[in-house]
Amino acid sequence: VVGGLIFVKLGGSVITDKKKPFTERRRLIKSLAEEIYSSHRHSDFNLIIGHGGGSYPHTPAGRYQTHKGIVGDESTLGIALVQDAASRLNRIIVSYLLEAGEKAISVQPSSALVASNGRIVSWDLATIRLMLKLGLVPVTYGDVGLDQVKGCCILSTEEIFCYLARHLKPDRIIIGTDVDGVYEGDPKKDKDAKKIPIITPKNAVNLIHLLGGAGGLDVTGGMRTKVATLLDLVREVDVECEVLNIARRGVLEKALKGERGIGTIIRRE
Ligand SMILES: Nc1ncnc2c1ncn2[C@@H]1O[C@H](COP(=O)(O)OP(=O)(O)O)[C@@H](O)[C@H]1O
Ligand SMILES: [Mg+2]
């Protein structure tokens, strides 16, 4: 692909209020859509956007324990409700991207892929490849997954990006969240926690146990799982990832325009 391929995640912690069920942050979503467009309009990189679910799908996912699989009579109803919640948030994100000028097009994981014990095992990416070829911007998202072992699971945007990265080989992965990077402790609980500039599989051995879970309701595990998933990815695919705070105005735009090291870089070496 000419100009390269960048994956961008809009964290559920940013686009929703994770402490309030079904509460999106429209003003922030609008300005993020504008930041994406203003860095993308005069450049030739391809973009895949993924967004977290925040307080949309995590509300039914928590109630029906969807991440644990089929655990009771109501689990199947849970699958349908999680898909509904995730896709409703997706329509909101896509509509703001369209309004900003992006040729955004929705990609629904739950109806397209198969998981096995929470990991994606098959997903035909022919459609996404054609979208990219046409200059469309696929917008995928954390969703419920149909799982051939446990019936259902929750797929984080990071898990989805890992599968896509193995097959599409992006040049960069930008993980936008609501903290300035990965710290030696949860920065929301420990004001003295130090930011870690670069994480590699080598230095991660001494760091990973310091990382904590998510803010608010989130069944996918928060920062520790995020970093562990990205470390697994960079071991396998040579791609530079960066976790940064896109709730701060202008940060996403700067990163998309090529600035590195605003947050925490995760890479192979
Ligand atoms: N060591 C850490 N460094 C940074 N953030 C951490 C750390 N430990 C826990 N967190 C928490 O992880 C949250 C980000 O993870 P998560 O809630 O899953 O965000 P997202 O919705 O963007 O995926 C932050 O809001 C922060 O409170
Ligand atoms: Mg998360």
| pLDDT tens-digit map of 81-92 | 999 999 999 999
Backbone angles phi, psi at 216, to 5 degrees: 70, -165
| HSE-CB for 181 with a 13 A CA cutoff | 19
| Closest ligand relative to 217 C-alpha | 1
- Segment 22-44 shows an average pLDDT of 97
**CA-CA distance, 56 to 71, in Å (whole number)?**
21
CA of 61 to the centre of ligand 2 (A): 13
User: Looking at the chain, which runs of residues are DSSP E strands?
Assistant: 5-10, 46-51, 104-106, 113-116, 119-123, 137-141, 143-147, 151-155, 172-177, 198-199, 240-245, 264-266
Task: List the residue whose alpha carbon is closest to atom 10 of ligand 1.
Answer: 186
Count the neighbouring beta carbons within 10 Å of the beta carbon of residue 179: 21
CA of 221 to the centre of ligand 2 (A): 6
Atom of ligand 1 nearest to the CA of 211: 1
**CA-CA distance, 252 to 32, in Å (whole number)?**
7
CA of 131 to the centre of ligand 2 (A): 26
Task: List the residue whose alpha carbon is closest to atom 11 of ligand 1.
Answer: 214
The band of 1, judged by pLDDT with boundaries at 50, 70 and 90, is very low
The answer to whether residue 158 scores a pLDDT higher than 50 is yes
Give the per-residue pLDDT at 206. 84
The set of protein residues with a Cβ atom below 6 angstroms from ligand 1 is: 11-13, 52, 54, 177-179, 182-183, 185-188, 211-215, 218, 222-223
Give the per-residue pLDDT at 198. 97
The band of 221, judged by pLDDT with boundaries at 50, 70 and 90, is confident
Give the per-residue pLDDT at 216. 58
Are the C-beta atoms of residues 77 and 36 closer than 8 Å to each other? no
213 or 253, which is more confident: 253
Instruction: Read off the amino acid at residue 17.
Output: D
CA of 130 to the centre of ligand 2 (A): 29
Burial letters 66-101, b for 16+ CB under 10 A, else e? bbbebeeeebeebbebbbebbbebbebbbebbeebe
The band of 217, judged by pLDDT with boundaries at 50, 70 and 90, is low
Are the C-beta atoms of residues 48 and 8 closer than 8 Å to each other? yes
Instruction: Read off the amino acid at residue 25.
Output: R
Atom of ligand 1 nearest to the CA of 157: 23
Task: Please indicate, yes or no, whether the overall pTM of this predicted structure exceeds 0.85.
Answer: yes
- Segment 211-217 shows an average pLDDT of 63
Instruction: Identify which of 223, 242, 248 to mutate to test ligand 1's pocket (most ligand atoms within 8 A of the CB).
Output: 223
| Closest ligand relative to 18 C-alpha | 1
Residue count of the chain, please give it.
Answer: 269
Retrieve residue 194's tokens: 């130090």
CA of 138 to the centre of ligand 1 (A): 25
CA of 186 to the centre of ligand 1 (A): 7
Burial letters 234-258, b for 16+ CB under 10 A, else e? beebebebbbbbbbeeebbbebbee
Pairing relationship of beta strands 198-199 and 151-155 according to DSSP bridges? unpaired
| CA-based nearest residue to 32, from 181, 158, 176, 156 | 176
| HSE-CB for 266 with a 13 A CA cutoff | 27
Give the lowest-confidence range in 108-117, 126-135, 203-212. 203-212
Are the C-beta atoms of residues 166 and 237 closer than 8 Å to each other? yes
- Segment 48-57 shows an average pLDDT of 97
- Segment 3-28 shows an average pLDDT of 96
| HSE-CB for 135 with a 13 A CA cutoff | 7
Give the per-residue pLDDT at 222. 82
The answer to whether residue 170 scores a pLDDT higher than 60 is yes
Backbone angles phi, psi at 73, to 5 degrees: -65, -25
Give the per-residue pLDDT at 215. 58
- Segment 232-243 shows an average pLDDT of 97
Task: List the residue whose alpha carbon is closest to atom 15 of ligand 1.
Answer: 222
- Segment 152-175 shows an average pLDDT of 98
What does the mean pLDDT of the chain come to?
95
